[in-house]
């Protein structure tokens, strides 16, 4: 059609689309272009219009154009599945967990169906009786909610979404459950649950008990009787220590969720989707979409309010249509979703708006702009939902809702959500959600094994504007990702901040500013540097409660990769990290050590690894590669030295193996009925042989696509190297 605009995707965006979104035939060959994909989605979503007396063709063009212009993009399941036999278009689901085997295994079956369809699931396990409680039917004892979480985690591990990725889960346990201490400690103690975010459900009464130094009752959900009483501060300190050490658990403020429950007749809100931004009832789903703020502003970051209003209105209509054309994995989900018609419209590209306007992320000016912007989006979104209600009818459960009490017809029980935009922001080539940028410049692996240099375009323009010689400065930025050590004017350092340059209170205040005008919740990670203290974690949690956030996720840099997990005194922690979190110098090498040597065949020649032990602990590794070029040998020796430094600093050898094992290379080779993927993989397997054991790989903070590091944003994980994102 001549009135369809031309889509302008970058080369990187097209690669992401080809890898994850475009339809393929049985031979894995791509059979549609990015433009075809957008038209496929637009046509399906617009087909609903005929039911309301509108032109499907006209609206298909409008929906296509708003996506082709990159003004708005829906969540990934909509882009992937619209117009396909799967047809499931929502990202967020909550499923009920009851206190019986039938209820639990019924939820397990539903989880597999949701994950297979491309959705993520959230659960509240608080109704499951505690470990050790009686089971009348078998005269036995219950295993408790944690054991069932492990079952759900394993199911997620084996059910891939569309054959390309695994699903994500949110597991919530309320602070009053008798197993809450074990729940908080489980990731500290090394429990895997790699497909779960976990959060403690916290009522206001618990926060008051913490602030007053009071007691806290743990109550058996089966009987309603008090199991025991603890000090609220005991649980609070353990919770914040766990978040400092591992990034888990987060917190969900349950009374805040319920205060914003627009349809209380449907029950209480005590669960969210995997990234925490979408509170939902059991069997409810929600489809999400985000407006690209970069497209709503000029080069100085000035918002075009008219364009933003038009985009909000068409986006609300688009998301409302998705509810009607969606193919739901369960009848119960279809009924609850259509009954409330919740949608979640959010934003992405916030960091670029601040760069363009010369406003520091975390400044008072940035908070005021955030409130003005989101207040506008919420107001216009509600107006459009009311307009749709007048034309099509309010959501079926409107009678008795909060909207009913206000005398306002509404098509959707909720309209706005700040959701993760991991992959769709890559397509739109903007920053994720309302997060700050993670680096101003970085190197990324290209698809032909080359390395490309990415530099923030706003920084380049700012340097050019003040006449700075950018080449030397950019080398400094490439080394650290920030301007903190660069020789540039203070004004630039003030504006061009990255996630770890921002103190926790400013992260929280930004989340609270957007939450003020968001119907549902805000997905954001409070990213902190490795040097952050437990007191910083406590401060962030308390401030988020005081400022009205509905939940919060905190991630301290490298806490999962380099932190030695331990209990007890500093002497129990090993030589690397003390109980106060401060680094300790590596141990000096004794004069005599005992060890063993193993040989592994690689595509570069035989690899000889000598692992020396200090008592029962691995202490150092020597790596030598026979019949290889000088560069390859140098890389091998360098890996050996770094591994030795890590071992002498107390890093567990299993953590080292987990980081190296499975990294792919260009020349894999079969060896001893197995496959050696690369030199790092060979070293990992050699360490296993030297130790006489096998270490199972856990995804952790490694990208499953390329093996590079992943960053935490919006309660999700995103690879900075190959563009992989686990969410949406």
Structure-token match 């093996």, residue found: 707
Give, for 339, the enclosing helix (H) or strand (E). helix 331-340
Q: Is position 275 annotated as part of the catalytic site?
A: yes
Give, for 291, the enclosing helix (H) or strand (E). strand 284-292
The predicted pLDDT at position 384 comes to: 98
Closest to 700 in 3D by CA, of 556, 561, 526? 561
Please tell us whether the domain made up of 11-89+285-427 is placed in CATH 3.20.70.20: yes
CA distance 78 to 325: 10
DSSP 38-67: HHHHHHHHHGGGGGGT--HHHHHHHHHHHH
In this prediction the pTM is 0.81
CA 699, 705, 711, 712 dihedral sign is negative
Which tops the pLDDT comparison, 554 or 478?
A: 554
Task: Show the tokens assigned to 296.
Answer: 């709503």
The predicted pLDDT at position 177 comes to: 98
pLDDT, tens digit (0-9, with 9 covering 90-100), for 220-232:
999 999 999 999 9
Catalytic residue among 169, 273, 287, 412, which? 273
| Residues forming a β-bridge with 291 | 72, 347
Closest to 524 in 3D by CA, of 716, 351, 702? 716
Q: What is the DSSP letter of 321?
A: H
Asked whether the beta carbons of 414 and 262 are under 8 A apart, the reply is yes
Which tops the pLDDT comparison, 47 or 604?
A: 47
Instruction: Please state the φ and ψ torsions of residue 348, each to the nearest 5 degrees.
Output: -145, 165
Give, for 621, the enclosing helix (H) or strand (E). strand 617-625
CA distance 7 to 524: 29
CA 682, 687, 693, 695 dihedral sign is negative
Catalytic residue among 65, 197, 270, 277, which? 277
Burial label for 414, CB within 10 Å (0-12, 13-18, 19+), is buried
- Listed in sequence order, the residues at least 6 apart from 115 whose beta carbon sits closer than 8 Å to its beta carbon are 121, 155, 156, 159, 161, 166, 167
Q: Is position 449 annotated as part of the catalytic site?
A: no
**Quick one: average pLDDT of 570-598?**
60
Asked whether the beta carbons of 257 and 241 are under 8 A apart, the reply is no
- Phi/psi region, residue 193 (left: phi>0; alpha: psi -120 to 50; beta: rest), is left
Round the average pLDDT of the chain to a whole number and report it: 87
Structure-token match 């540097």, residue found: 529
**Quick one: average pLDDT of 469-475?**
71
Q: With H, G, I as helix, E, B as strand and everything else as coil, classify residue 531.
A: coil
- Listed in sequence order, the residues at least 6 apart from 298 whose beta carbon sits closer than 8 Å to its beta carbon are 304
Q: Which of 195-209, 590-604, 665-679 has the highest mean pLDDT?
A: 195-209
CA distance 626 to 256: 63
| Residues forming a β-bridge with 192 | none
Give, for 380, the enclosing helix (H) or strand (E). helix 364-392
Q: With H, G, I as helix, E, B as strand and everything else as coil, classify residue 184.
A: helix
CA distance 651 to 631: 27
**Quick one: average pLDDT of 134-142?**
78
- Work out the number of other CB atoms within 10 angstroms of the CB of residue 118: 24
Q: Regarding beta strands 169-174 and 120-124, do their DSSP bridges make them parallel or antiparallel, or are they unpaired?
A: parallel
Number of H helices, E strands in the chain: 24, 25
CATH 3.20.70.20 in the chain: give the residue spans. Answer: 11-89+285-427, 92-264
Asked whether the beta carbons of 699 and 153 are under 8 A apart, the reply is no
Task: Show the tokens assigned to 103.
Answer: 């209820």
**Quick one: average pLDDT of 282-305?**
97
**Quick one: average pLDDT of 445-458?**
65
Q: Which fold has domain 92-264?
A: Anaerobic Ribonucleotide-triphosphate Reductase Large Chain (3.20.70)
3-state helix, strand, coil in the chain (%, to 5): 40, 20, 40
Q: Is position 273 annotated as part of the catalytic site?
A: yes
Q: How many residues does the chain have?
A: 728
pLDDT, tens digit (0-9, with 9 covering 90-100), for 488-530:
889 999 999 999 999 999 999 999 999 999 999 999 999 999 8
The predicted pLDDT at position 601 comes to: 84
DSSP 711-723: EEETTEEEETTT-
CA distance 398 to 400: 6
Asked whether the beta carbons of 520 and 344 are under 8 A apart, the reply is yes
CA distance 653 to 693: 11
Structure-token match 């110098």, residue found: 585
Banded model confidence at residue 604, pLDDT cuts 50, 70, 90:
confident
Banded model confidence at residue 578, pLDDT cuts 50, 70, 90:
very low
Catalytic residue among 81, 197, 261, 275, which? 275
Task: Show the tokens assigned to 357.
Answer: 């306007």
């Amino acid at each position: 059609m001549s009135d369809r605009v031309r889509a302008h995707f970058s080369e990187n965006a097209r690669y992401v689309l080809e890898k994850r979104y475009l339809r393929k035939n049985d031979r894995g060959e791509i059979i549609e272009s990015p433009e075809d994909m957008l038209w496929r989605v637009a046509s399906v979503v617009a087909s609903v219009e005929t039911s309301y007396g509108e032109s499907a063709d006209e609206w298909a063009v409008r929906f296509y154009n708003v996506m082709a212009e990159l003004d708005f993009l829906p969540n990934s399941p909509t882009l992937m599945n619209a117009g396909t036999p799967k047809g499931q278009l929502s990202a967020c689901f909550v499923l009920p967990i009851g206190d019986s085997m039938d209820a639990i295994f019924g939820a397990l079956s539903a989880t597999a169906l949701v994950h297979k369809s491309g959705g993520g699931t959230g659960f509240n396990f608080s109704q499951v009786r505690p470990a050790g409680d009686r089971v009348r039917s078998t005269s036995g004892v219950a295993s408790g909610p944690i054991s069932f979480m492990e079952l759900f985690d394993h199911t997620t591990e084996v059910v891939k979404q569309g054959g390309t990725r695994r699903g994500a889960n949110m597991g919530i346990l309320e602070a009053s459950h008798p197993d809450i201490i074990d729940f908080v400690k489980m990731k500290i103690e090394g429990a895997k649950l790699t497909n779960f975010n976990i959060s403690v459900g916290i009522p206001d009464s618990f926060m008051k008990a913490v602030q007053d130094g009071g007691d806290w009752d743990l109550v058996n959900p089966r009987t309603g009787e008090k199991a025991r009483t603890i000090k609220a501060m005991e649980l609070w300190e353990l919770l914040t220590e766990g978040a400092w050490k591992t990034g888990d658990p987060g917190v969900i403020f349950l009374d805040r969720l319920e205060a914003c429950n627009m349809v209380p007749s449907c029950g209480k809100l005590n669960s969210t989707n995997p990234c925490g931004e979408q509170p939902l009832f059991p069997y409810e789903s929600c489809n999400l979409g985000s407006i690209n703020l970069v497209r709503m502003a000029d080069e100085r970051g000035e918002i075009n309010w008219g364009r933003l209003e038009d985009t909000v209105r068409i986006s609300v209509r688009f998301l409302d249509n998705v509810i009607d054309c969606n193919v739901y994995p369960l009848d119960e989900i279809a009924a609850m979703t259509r009954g409330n018609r919740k949608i979640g419209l959010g934003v992405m590209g916030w960091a670029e708006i601040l760069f363009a306007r010369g406003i520091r992320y975390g400044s008072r000016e940035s908070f005021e702009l955030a409130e003005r912007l989101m207040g506008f989006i919420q107001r216009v979104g509600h107006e459009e939902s009311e307009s749709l209600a007048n034309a099509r009818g309010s959501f079926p459960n409107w009678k008795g809702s909060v909207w009913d009490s206000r005398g306002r017809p509404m098509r959707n029980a909720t309209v706005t959500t700040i959701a993760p935009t991991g992959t769709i922001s890559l397509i739109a080539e903007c920053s994720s959600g309302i997060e700050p940028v993670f680096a101003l410049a970085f190197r990324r692996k290209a698809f032909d094994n080359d390395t490309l240099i990415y530099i923030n375009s706003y920084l380049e323009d700012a340097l050019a504007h003040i006449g700075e010689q950018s080449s030397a400065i950019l080398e400094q930025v490439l080394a650290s990702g920030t301007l903190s050590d660069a020789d540039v004017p203070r004004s630039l350092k003030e504006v061009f901040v990255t996630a770890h340059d921002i103190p926790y209170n400013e992260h929280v205040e930004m989340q609270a500013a957007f939450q003020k005008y968001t119907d549902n919740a805000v997905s954001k990670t409070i990213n902190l540097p490795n040097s952050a203290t437990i007191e910083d974690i406590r401060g962030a949690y308390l401030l988020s409660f005081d400022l009205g956030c509905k939940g919060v996720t905190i991630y301290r840099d490298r806490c999962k990769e380099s932190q030695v997990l331990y209990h007890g005194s500093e002497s129990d922690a090993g030589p690397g990290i003390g109980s106060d979190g401060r680094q300790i110098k590596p141990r000096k090498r004794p004069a005599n050590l005992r060890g063993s040597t193993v040989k592994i065949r690689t595509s570069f020649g035989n690899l000889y690894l000598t692992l020396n032990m200090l008592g029962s602990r691995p202490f150092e590794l020597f790596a030598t590669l026979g019949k290889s070029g000088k560069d390859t040998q140098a890389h091998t020796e360098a890996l050996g030295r770094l591994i030795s430094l890590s071992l002498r600093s107390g890093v567990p050898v299993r953590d080292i193996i987990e980081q190296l094992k499975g990294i792919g290379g260009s020349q894999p080779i079969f060896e001893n009925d197995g496959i050696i993927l690369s030199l790092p993989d060979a070293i990992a397997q050699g360490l296993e042989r030297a130790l006489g054991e096998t270490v199972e790989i856990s995804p952790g903070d490694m990208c499953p696509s390329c093996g590079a590091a992943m960053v935490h944003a919006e309660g999700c994980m995103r690879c900075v190297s190959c563009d992989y994102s686990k969410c949406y």
